[in-house]
Structure 1
Amino acid sequence: MTIFGPLGLSFAPQIRKSPSLYRLFKPFADWYAQVAGYRQMGLRYDDLLLEERDDVQKALGRLSEREAYDRIYRFRVASQASVIHKNLPKEQWVKPEEDVRYLKPHVEEVWKEDLERAKWNNVQVQRKR
């Protein structure tokens, strides 16, 4: 896959390959994830993806029952915390090691399928004379 993936331009693969760049950007990335506040509400990063996108809709349909249930539960807990204007207690925050990309592989798979479908849909049949 190129750096122009389904989620836009990303320099993350190049940063992960270079140990010095990784050490330079990792503290900033950790700080940013903490400041964003989604983990304090009990959400994971992939919960923030826009559901209105077609590729995300298809990917959501590919989640296992358990993953879909957990996602809905996280949204309900976050909604309740938002209504009472308080973050969850610290022991209920999502830890960085728990914040795994559970939806991204499905979105990338849908994106690749759409690319392949676009290639095959452009095939023109010419009649022999």
Structure 2
Amino acid sequence: MSSLPKGHAGAFPEGSRWRQGHRLLPLLVCFKLCANGITMQLDTTNMVSVGYNKYGLLRDDLLYETEDVKEAIRRLPEDLYFERCFRIKRAMDLTMKHRILPKEEWVKYEEDGHYLQPYLKEVIRERQEREAWKKK
């Protein structure tokens, strides 16, 4: 039986390497679970079990890119945007090489902030305001 959460077993074809216990499976499930554009509230236990910190990713790097999230990313300051791109590209490179970062480079729980949340909240507030205005 699949080790995926209920309702996610069909996300990967039978016999694929993702179903055979690939080490990034929890990370991919995390992407799937964040599909509504809201961050998961992770404690240190979940952070370690998901393992995104081993690839240098932050929590907000795992958000599914809905229209709201895309707009929030577009509004990021240039330095935050380039840091985000670097982290994602590095994680993809490490995945392709079947490696993780050295332990001293892992993101620590205390360092894992919500850099995108202020921008995302603003985008959502503006969208809700527009929707309310259109209803009038």
TM-score of the aligned structures, taking structure 2 as reference length: 0.68
Alignment of 1:1-129 (within 5 A): 7=38, 29-51=43-65, 53-123=66-136
After superposing on structure 2, the runs of 4+ consecutive aligned residues of structure 1 that deviate more than 3 Å are none
Structure with the larger RCO, 1 or 2 (CA within 8 Å, 6+ apart)? 1
- Give identity over the alignment, percent: 38
Q: Could you say what secondary structure the match of 2:115 adopts? A: coil
Per-residue deviation, 1:77:
1.1
- Tell me, yes or no, if the aligned pair for 2:38 and 2:63 is still in contact at 8 Å: no
More deviation in 79-88 or 65-74?
A: 79-88
Provide the rounded CA distance (Å) in 1 between the counterparts of 2:132 and 2:78: 32
Provide the rounded CA distance (Å) in 1 between the counterparts of 2:132 and 2:73: 24
Provide the rounded CA distance (Å) in 2 between the counterparts of 1:61 and 1:67: 11
Provide the rounded CA distance (Å) in 2 between the counterparts of 1:114 and 1:79: 32
Provide the rounded CA distance (Å) in 1 between the counterparts of 2:95 and 2:60: 19
Provide the rounded CA distance (Å) in 2 between the counterparts of 1:121 and 1:113: 12
- Provide the aligned length of Structure 1 versus Structure 2: 101
Provide the rounded CA distance (Å) in 1 between the counterparts of 2:95 and 2:79: 24
Q: Which runs of 5+ in 2 are unaligned?
A: 1-36
Larger radius of gyration: 1
TM-score of the aligned structures, taking structure 1 as reference length: 0.72
Per-residue deviation, 1:7:
2.6
Match of 1:21 in 2: none
Q: Which runs of 5+ in 1 are unaligned?
A: 1-5, 13-27, 124-129
Per-residue deviation, 1:87:
0.9
Provide the rounded CA distance (Å) in 1 between the counterparts of 2:133 and 2:96: 48
Provide the rounded CA distance (Å) in 1 between the counterparts of 2:105 and 2:119: 27
